[in-house]
């Protein structure tokens, strides 16, 4: 799996003539996420690898994280947060206002990473349409569903009937997604807004969904699915575990 990710990153760097010694690793987490640090490392969660539908969607996310690293967003974020907590001019503002400022700054960094990442991505020969479809995937992953909506997709009746009451009580409540959520309290911009921006930047007919063999992608995705199932059970996320089990 690490080698597969390394091949994507290597292709992105070569396509953009970027000379950079940077590593990429999968992370044993069922959460849909990837992140870059101030160190030359990109991390991609298994929860993301199991969810993407092709290599090009994965490549766009890696381009986005590469942009974060090259433009030192994590360091900028650290110093911005430090200023908020320590400089005199910010001493008088409330904790709530500080949160709004921190998240506003974070959203700016995400917009910048999208703007730069799509440039990297368009040079790779990957399917440009995947840079748009990945935001549909993000919206599906981050939406919170009501149990009725989940049960309309999967047959949970037998599953819940077999569980002891204590276990049912311990399961996290699932709330209906509110499309009018307060974006000011989010560290990321609205995915619909990001998708609309990317749509203006791409030619949906250009590029290929796979540069490596498709079979390799399917193999690493299966591995990510199996490990995500194990992690979901360990985390007590039983609805997600049941959902993954049905996919497998």
Residues 39, 23 contacting (CB under 8 angstroms): no
Query: Counting Cβ atoms within 10 Å, is residue 200 exposed (0-12), middle (13-18) or buried (19+)?
Result: exposed
Strand order in the sheet with 34-36: 23-27, 41-45, 34-36
Note the pLDDT of residue 238. 87
Residues 156, 150 contacting (CB under 8 angstroms): yes
In sequence order, what are the beta bridge partners of 36? 42
Note the pLDDT of residue 116. 98
pTM across the whole model: 0.82
| Token pair 């990109």 in the structure block, residue | 42
Note the pLDDT of residue 163. 47
- Region of 126 on the Ramachandran plot (φ > 0 left; ψ -120 to 50 alpha; else beta): beta
Spell out the residues 6+ positions from residue 38 whose beta carbon is closer than 8 angstroms to its own: 69, 72, 74, 75, 78
Task: Determine the Cα–Cα distance for residues 55 and 60; give it in Å rounded to an integer.
Answer: 9
**SS3 string of the chain?**
CHHHHHHHHHHHHHHCCCCCCCEEEEECCCCCCEEECCCCEEEEEHHHHCCCCCHHHHHHHHHHHHHHHHCCHHHHHHHHHHHHHHCHHHCCCCHHHHHHHHHHHHHHHHHHHHHHHHHHHHCCCECCCHHHHHHHHHHHHHCCCCHHHHHHHCCCHHHHHCCCHHHHHHCCCCCCCCCCCCHHHCCCCCHHHHHHHHHCCCCCCCCECCCCCHHHHHHHHHHHHHHHHHHHHHHCCHHHHHHHHHHC
Note the pLDDT of residue 80. 87
Distances from the Cα of 115 to the Cα of 4, 29, 32, 37, angstroms: 25, 27, 21, 19
Spell out the residues 6+ positions from residue 91 whose beta carbon is closer than 8 angstroms to its own: none
Q: In tens digits, what is the pLDDT along the chain, a chain of 248 residues?
A: 999 999 999 999 999 999 999 999 999 998 899 999 999 999 999 999 999 999 999 999 999 999 999 999 999 999 988 888 887 777 778 888 888 888 888 999 999 999 999 999 999 999 999 999 999 988 877 654 334 344 444 444 454 454 444 444 444 333 334 444 456 777 888 899 999 999 999 999 999 999 999 999 999 999 999 999 999 999 888 888 888 888 77
Q: At what angle do helices 2-15 and 55-70 cross, to 10 degrees?
A: 70
Note the pLDDT of residue 153. 43
């Amino acid at each position: 799996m690490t080698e597969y990710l390394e091949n994507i990153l290597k292709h992105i760097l070569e396509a953009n003539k970027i000379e950079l010694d940077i590593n990429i690793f999968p992370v044993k987490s069922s959460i849909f996420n990837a992140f870059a640090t101030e160190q030359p490392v990109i991390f991609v969660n298994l929860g993301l690898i199991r969810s993407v539908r092709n290599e090009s969607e994965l490549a766009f996310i890696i381009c986005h994280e590469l942009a974060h690293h090259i433009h030192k967003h994590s360091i900028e974020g650290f110093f911005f947060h430090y200023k908020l907590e320590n400089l005199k001019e910010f001493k008088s503002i409330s904790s709530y206002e500080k949160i709004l400022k921190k998240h506003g700054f974070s959203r700016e960094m995400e917009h910048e990473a999208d703007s730069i990442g799509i440039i990297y991505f368009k040079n790779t020969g990957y399917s440009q349409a995947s840079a748009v479809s990945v935001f549909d995937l993000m919206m599906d992953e981050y939406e919170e569903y009501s149990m009725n909506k989940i049960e309309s997709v999967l047959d949970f009746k037998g599953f819940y009937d077999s569980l002891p009451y204590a276990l049912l009580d311990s399961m996290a409540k699932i709330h209906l997604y509110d499309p009018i959520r307060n974006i000011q309290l989010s560290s990321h911009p609205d995915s619909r807004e990001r998708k609309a921006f990317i749509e203006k930047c791409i030619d949906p007919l250009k590029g290929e969904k796979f540069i490596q063999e498709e079979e390799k992608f399917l193999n690493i995705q299966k591995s990510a699915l199996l490990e995500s199932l194990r992690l979901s059970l360990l985390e007590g996320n039983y609805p997600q575990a049941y959902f993954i089990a049905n996919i497998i």
